[in-house]
Structure formats: structure tokens, C-alpha cells
Amino acid sequence: MTEQFPPPAPPPYQPAEYPPPAQYPPPASPPASIPGAAPTRRLSPLWQTAVVCFVGLTVSGALVVLSLFSRNLFVPLVLAATLISVAVGIYAAVQGWRGSQRAARRGAQGRAAAIALVSGAMLIVAAVAISGAIWIVLLFFL
């Protein structure tokens, strides 16, 4: 028996055979199921966040206005407005952070820094709302 020099090359790597991925139909947008309805487009993350913040802060402001006209419900309404403002501020900060990271990955460092500064400002707004709630609790419950 003679040995070959160099030894024969191993067989080429063959990846495992997996079944083809399932082919699912694309999801239909809800208005597309209505006959004659126009197709819809999704909002960009920036506009989606802007709409959520606008609606949340409008509801919060409406609760504050209602609290001015109600003696019995002043504290609960202002605390509810504060909680909504805090939730909106944190949501906007998180979305801003995600948008900043997305912009930085695309190579737009200036835009990423501007978005990060604005999301930091939203955290300050949330902190001010929390401090307002603490003052209300201290004034009316102690």
C-alpha cells in the first residue's frame, strides 16, 4: 500500500439540507379588506412618535383643565395628568434613543446627536412632571 503525498483533499463542505422556508401570504392591511378602500401606508417612526406624544399631552392638558373646574377631583386628575406626561416623556425618550441609534448606523452623526439631545430633553420633561407630582402629594397629603 503506497501513501499519496500530499494526502487527498477532504470533500468540500456541504451545508445541511433544510426544508425551504414556509411561504406565508403577506398580511393584508385592515382597510384593504373593505371593498373599494384605498391602500394604507405606515407612518414613519418619527411621525408615529409625534402623534403619540401630541395625543398624550393633549389628554394630559385636558385633565389639568378639568382639575381646575373640579374641587373634589383636583388631586386625582392632576396626578393622572402627571402619569400620562411621564409615560409620554419616557416613550418619546426611548423612541428618540432608537432613532438616534438608527441614524448613527446610517452614518448621519449630526442627526443622531440632535435626536439624542431632544430625547434627553424629553427625559427632563418627564423628570419635571414627576417632581410636580411629588410636590402635589406633599402639599395635599402631608
- Sketch the domain layout of the chain as residue ranges: 45-141
Contact (Cβ atoms closer than 8 angstroms) between residue 119 and residue 100: yes
Best CA proximity match to 91, nearest among 133, 134, 126: 126
Contact (Cβ atoms closer than 8 angstroms) between residue 116 and residue 96: yes
Q: Residues 18-47, buried b or exposed e (16+ Cβ, 10 A)? A: eeeeeeeeeeeeeeeeeeeeeeeeeeeeee
At 15 the pLDDT is: 66
From CA 61, how far away is CA 80, in angstroms rounded? 10
Taking the alpha carbons at both ends of the chain, their separation in whole angstroms is 98
Give the global pTM: 0.63
> pLDDT tens, position by position, for the chain (142 residues)?
566 677 777 777 666 676 666 666 666 655 555 666 666 677 777 788 888 889 998 999 899 899 888 888 888 888 899 899 889 888 988 888 888 888 888 888 888 888 888 888 888 888 888 888 888 878 877 6
Q: How far is CA 1 from CA 4, 26, 64, in A?
A: 10, 62, 95
